[in-house]
Amino acid sequence: MLRGLVTGVLHDAPALKTSTAGNQFAVAKLKDDSSQPAGWYSIVAFGELADTLAKMVKGDSLAVSGKLTLKTYTGNEGATRIDASIVADQIATMKRKKKAAAQKADQQQDDQDHHCHTEDQQLSYSDDIPF
């Protein structure tokens, strides 16, 4: 049995499905941007992990570990491709990198929150020391 750990971004919102036996499971497609070309993984989760995965949204960054299955197939253009799927036993959300504009706006807000005065204000100081 192969075990895998992949990190990436959800391509679409996960889908919650029900098996013929009445058990719920969730499926999702994860894009691994760290490899070139980008790797794609089919994620399947059961039980509580299915509920957790189903609450995720498109664009969420995840780390998924579990049983890894690799299959090869011939694509439409005749090239051999690999299909990678993971039956998840652990899912962790990761903090998404903010775009530069959002980071700048956050930094400006932090600067405003942490300054007690502006350049236009003059502060007066007393020579009396309270201790």
On whether residue 45 sits in a domain, the answer given is: yes
Q: Which residue has the higher pLDDT, 84 or 113?
A: 84
Range of the domain at 78: 2-113
The two tokens of residue 82 are: 């690999």
> Are 73 and 19 contacting, i.e. CB atoms less than 8 angstroms apart?
no
On whether residue 63 sits in a domain, the answer given is: yes
- The b/e string for 57-78 (b: 16+ C-beta within 10 A; e otherwise) is eeebbbebbbebeeeeeeeeee
pLDDT tens digits, one per residue of 49-73: 999 999 999 999 999 999 999 998 8
Round to whole Å and give the CA distance between 121 and 124: 10
On whether residue 79 sits in a domain, the answer given is: yes
Of 129, 109, 92, whose CA–CA distance to 5 is shortest?
92
pLDDT tens digits, one per residue of 79-109: 888 889 999 999 999 875 555 555 666 666 5
Instruction: Give the 3-state secondary structure of residue 110.
Output: helix
Round to whole Å and give the CA distance between 127 and 53: 62
Q: Can you name the residues that pair with 87 across neighbouring β-strands?
A: 44, 67
On whether residue 127 sits in a domain, the answer given is: no
Q: Which residue has the higher pLDDT, 125 or 2?
A: 2
Round to whole Å and give the CA distance between 62 and 92: 6
Number of domains observed in the structure of the chain: 1
pLDDT confidence of residue 129: 60
> Are 51 and 28 contacting, i.e. CB atoms less than 8 angstroms apart?
no
CATH number for position 30: 2.40.50.140
